[in-house]
Structure 1
Amino acid sequence: MIEIVNEVKLTIKEDNPNPFLKDHFQPIGKEYTATSESLEVIGEIPKDLNGIYVRNGHNQVHEPMGVFHIFDGDGMVHGVHFENGKATYRNRFVRTTGFLAEQAAGKSLWPGMLEPHLATRQGWGSMGTMKDNAGTDIIAHAGKLLATMSQCSEANRLDPITLETVETDTWNTKVAPAGVCSHFKVDYDTGEMMFFNFSETYPYMNYGVVDSNNNLKHYVPIDLPGVRWPHDLGITKNYSILHDLPFIFDPELLAKGERKVTFFEDMPARFGIIPRYGDSNQVRWFEAKPCFILHLSNSYENGDEIIMEGCVTFNPRKPAVGKQGKDAIDKIKSQFNQNATQYRMYRWRFNLKTGKTKEEFLDDEVTEFPVVNNEIVGKKYRYSYNSTFDNSKAWWLSGLKKYDLLDGTSQRYEYGEGRVGSEPQFALRDNAKEEDDGYLITLVTDMNENRSECLILDAQDFSRGPVARIILPERIPVGAHACWVAADRIKGERV
């Protein structure tokens, strides 16, 4: 069965020249439900793969207000539910308050992140001017999916199987207006979710903990010197790691109402180690080389040290925020120029006894979107699965690289010419015996065949090629982040 359950009318003008609305970014309006019996399956879907792969992404509906940035698009989630050798594909828009308002109006009502001065009504996000598109992150917690955007948004909850927007969290008003920033983390041992938010008004950051039953148990302000623009959060068994990085709005210009994101090379990066239920007075700040971090692989405790690993850049770039000129698109492309930003795997060691930081590169190759086995988030681990890039194209994830951080080796898999991937997720097979005993799942858009597919790889042996490829009903745009929901967590946490 391939069913079109709904179709949202797209109003983007055909002559809109923005390249981030075309080609592998081109949005779709149809929402599908389709079973593997009705879809072409190349290979065989493993019977020991049980759970749901969900990928979020930006899928713009209306002609943008001002210059469009890829992070402005309406959130659309794509899910593949695996059960006993079969699969069901669904895609649904995240029906945020902003999305519903624009559907009623039939046009865009909020500007994007590049031109906040065009706002004519109250919005969401750290600047308070954007629509809550909920198109960046997606994670499962307490029996629901939580979809948010990187600039902070409401806690939008979805049914993990149907992908329908069901509610916002009961604690949503308690964290408003700052909301929830993408890259919250779940500790599978306790079922707790740790999150943060940030804004242009005091306090500039807040940190919180939600328990396994979706109750907000802890929410505290974090003392910072000024407005910040963090992106990720680390967790360990006992601590969370907050980021205060020197890639921020120029404070002197911001005081005049001008937003200019600037990398201050003479300002150290700071990392705040806070007890899971601690407050600002208990944060221990560690200094490191000036840098910017989008995404972490994992963090864990090792004796007196907190180890944090992820992808770092010492040359970050973001497009200018404010009135845009003719070079606006070039500035966006520069932001995604991997040759320039050089995000690479890196390790920080924070010594709780001495207060010192040690840091080092783990690899010379440019990679990003690192993911690990969900079962060992916050624990000592061995494998990280990162995306590689074709640097001649914007936002083109060309393949996967598996790092063995114990013996220093790696494996890789390339999607092929004209094929662009999504953030992968690792899924343990039933009765798995080892950390990497499972599958890597991702969505691939094939520009040669004008189609998209769900790709399943054996995580222990990339050389086998895909175990299975499920051809989707329609070609979909590239996306942002993904999550894996194991079958025994679909209805709630295990604790």
Structure 2
Amino acid sequence: MKRRKFLKASGIGLGSALVAGYVFDRFGSFGTKENYYLQDNYAPVETLITEDKLEVVGNIPKDLSGLYLRNGPNPMGSINAKKYHWFMGQGMLHGVRIEEGKAIWYRNRLVGSDSYGPNTHVVSHAGKTYAIVEAGGQPVEIDKELNSLAADPFYGTLETGFSAHTKLDSKTGELHAMCYDYASDFENVHHLTVGKDGKIKSTQAIALPSKSMLHECAITENYILVLDLSITFSFYKLGRGYFPFSWNDDHQARIGLLDRSGNSSEVRWFNINPCYFFHTVNAYEDQQGNLILDAMRYERLFDEDWNGPNSEFSPQLTRWTLDLSSGIANERQLDDKPAELPRMHPELNGQFYQYGYSLGVSKNLQPDFGRIIKYDFVKDRSEFYELGEGKMGAESVFVPS
């Protein structure tokens, strides 16, 4: 199957066009299924607008200037509600230009020129901004007005798929990504390093027969982490026209450590309890010979709910301690408040850190992302701020002072 045809069929974060399924599926041949990922605040935005001279309620710090951007799937046109998955649909950018305490404009724009525009995240590196997605979709460069540019990503040096989330090493200025493109390479994933000049510096293939869904990665001083967790590629779902990743009880969840120096392609694996996490907070190596990883852990997902991640178990902030001497991983829940989309000081990626932030939810199985949580990992405590009724947050952006 050709790569483009495969991506269109699978709908891996790239569009809502899917292959025809069997006559009967788990919801019946003619039945309907309520899909709350198409309702209320999750509903697609149908119009593109530009608004200037925005009213500011409260105050924006006068020394804060720049462009706030978010990206997310926004299916346009006819939608099969029963089979629609929250991760599908063309990317839509939302941007607010801020200058010296004033909100200059808001606008939203679709990413790319067709329904396959990357729909997950935006990243700036070496003077360029890209809309990005995992599973083979190519990054699209975005200008300061939110227009999509017809240019090869990373100066034409990208030869593989890319990632939904990257990690910047502030010490080296290099950007790291763990990438997969099972349409082109069904056996391997790739660790990519993007140099300070914005070009791909190295590409390292890693055998991964499980075909896991690698939404992001983590780095430490000496390692990049390979997150081979309990969500794997599913031909069963693909053949029925659904998002083609599923919970897999038969796969041993594990965390792999790959030497960042590039001197070895061997991955050292640590088995962990079945789980999945889309987002890590941070990872680092401590002075006791351990590697610490903090992430938002799901007990189970993509099993009963084929439309998205929210209705089975709520994510919880969890810490894994990998003993580099014994090869054993220990797990501990750090906080009991359901939360997702964590962030921390970007210059501390891969290093010891004290504070982290996330969006908390008050409704476990239909999250409203209505609170901001701050974690103190040294004092082992957290506090939160409620946004107020009818208000939902987006992924936080940490602006160093």
Same fold, TM-score > 0.5, yes or no: yes
Q: For 1:22-421, list aligned pairs within 5 A.
A: 22-24=39-41, 25-32=43-50, 34=52, 38-64=53-79, 67-96=83-112, 100-101=113-114, 131-159=115-143, 161-166=144-149, 167-170=151-154, 174-176=158-160, 179-200=161-182, 201-249=185-233, 261-265=245-249, 267-278=251-262, 281-303=265-287, 304-318=289-303, 331-332=306-307, 335-337=309-311, 340-391=312-363, 394-421=366-393
Tell me which protein shows more strand as a share of its residues.
1
Provide the rounded CA distance (Å) in 1 between the counterparts of 2:86 and 2:230. 24
Provide the rounded CA distance (Å) in 2 between the counterparts of 1:186 and 1:272. 19
CA 1:18/1:247 → structure 2, altered by over 3 Å: closer, same or farther? closer
SS at match of 1:134: coil
SS at match of 2:49: strand
CA 1:171/1:197 → structure 2, altered by over 3 Å: closer, same or farther? farther
Deviations 1:44-103 (A, max 9, x none): 21123233321112222222368332322221222233332223334342432xxx24xx
CA 1:94/1:192 → structure 2, altered by over 3 Å: closer, same or farther? farther
CA 1:47/1:254 → structure 2, altered by over 3 Å: closer, same or farther? closer
CA 1:226/1:33 → structure 2, altered by over 3 Å: closer, same or farther? same
- Which amino acid letter does the alignment assign opposite residue 188 of structure 1? S
SS at match of 1:281: coil
Provide the rounded CA distance (Å) in 2 between the counterparts of 1:190 and 1:94. 33
Provide the rounded CA distance (Å) in 1 between the counterparts of 2:386 and 2:136. 33
- Verify the 8 A CA contact 1:196 1:233 in the aligned structure 2: yes
SS at match of 2:293: strand
Deviations 1:204-242 (A, max 9, x none): 311110101111111121012332212220012232111
The equivalent residue for 1:447 is none
- Which amino acid letter does the alignment assign opposite residue 48 of structure 2? K
The count of corresponding residues between Structure 1 and Structure 2 is 362
- Verify the 8 A CA contact 1:220 1:280 in the aligned structure 2: no
Provide the rounded CA distance (Å) in 1 between the counterparts of 2:134 and 2:368. 20
Provide the rounded CA distance (Å) in 1 between the counterparts of 2:348 and 2:291. 15
- Verify the 8 A CA contact 1:75 1:94 in the aligned structure 2: yes
Consecutive unaligned residues of structure 1, counting only runs of 5 or more, are 1-15, 102-130, 320-329, 430-495
Deviations 1:389-420 (A, max 9, x none): 13277342121111111112222111222222
- Which amino acid letter does the alignment assign opposite residue 179 of structure 2? N
CA 1:284/1:47 → structure 2, altered by over 3 Å: closer, same or farther? same
- Verify the 8 A CA contact 1:222 1:280 in the aligned structure 2: no
- Verify the 8 A CA contact 2:132 2:138 in the aligned structure 1: yes
Query: 1:427 and 2:399 equivalent?
Result: yes
Provide the rounded CA distance (Å) in 1 between the counterparts of 2:346 and 2:138. 24
Consecutive unaligned residues of structure 2, counting only runs of 5 or more, are 1-32
CA 1:91/1:414 → structure 2, altered by over 3 Å: closer, same or farther? same
Provide the rounded CA distance (Å) in 2 between the counterparts of 1:48 and 1:173. 36
- Verify the 8 A CA contact 1:382 1:404 in the aligned structure 2: yes
- Which amino acid letter does the alignment assign opposite residue 70 of structure 2? R
TM superposition shift of 1:280: 6.4
Query: What TM-score does the superposition give when structure 2 sets the normalisation length?
Result: 0.81
- Verify the 8 A CA contact 2:177 2:216 in the aligned structure 1: no
TM superposition shift of 1:306: 1.7
- Verify the 8 A CA contact 2:220 2:284 in the aligned structure 1: yes
TM superposition shift of 1:345: 0.6
SS at match of 1:365: coil
Provide the rounded CA distance (Å) in 1 between the counterparts of 2:365 and 2:271. 35
SS at match of 1:345: strand
CA 1:237/1:400 → structure 2, altered by over 3 Å: closer, same or farther? same
SS at match of 2:353: coil
Tell me which protein shows more helix as a share of its residues.
1
**Percent of aligned pairs sharing the same letter:** 29
- Which amino acid letter does the alignment assign opposite residue 414 of structure 1? E
Deviations 1:172-208 (A, max 9, x none): 57424xx112011112222211112223343331111
Provide the rounded CA distance (Å) in 1 between the counterparts of 2:272 and 2:294. 13
The equivalent residue for 2:5 is none
The equivalent residue for 2:17 is none
CA 1:52/1:237 → structure 2, altered by over 3 Å: closer, same or farther? farther
CA 1:268/1:207 → structure 2, altered by over 3 Å: closer, same or farther? same
Task: Pick 1 or 2: higher relative contact order, CA cutoff 8 A, min separation 6.
Answer: 1
SS at match of 1:46: coil
Provide the rounded CA distance (Å) in 1 between the counterparts of 2:222 and 2:321. 16
TM superposition shift of 1:286: 1.5
CA 1:261/1:154 → structure 2, altered by over 3 Å: closer, same or farther? closer
